Amino acid sequence: MKKDIKFSTRMASADREKIRALAAKAHMSMSDYVTACCLGKRIVVIDEQKELLRQLKGIG
């Protein structure tokens, strides 16, 4: 979906860093992460993605 509106908010720097870290862990931009959270969308984080890919490649 095209992002045509800019929305700004004020928050503590610690909160911003926490959101940035959570977005990075989910492989999402901060904008996409905050939008998904606000809209109640499910965010799935796969911690062991590299290991999972290695195992799948081993299966063939």
- The better pLDDT of the pair 58, 13 is held by 13
pLDDT for the residue 11: 97
Which of 38, 41, 6 shows the shortest CA–CA distance to 19? 38
pTM: 0.73
pLDDT for the residue 44: 86
DSSP-derived secondary structure for 12-60: -HHHHHHHHHHHHHTT--HHHHHHHHHTT------TTHHHHHHHHHHH-
Which of 2, 42, 9 shows the shortest CA–CA distance to 26? 42
Read off the pLDDT band of 21 (50, 70, 90): very high
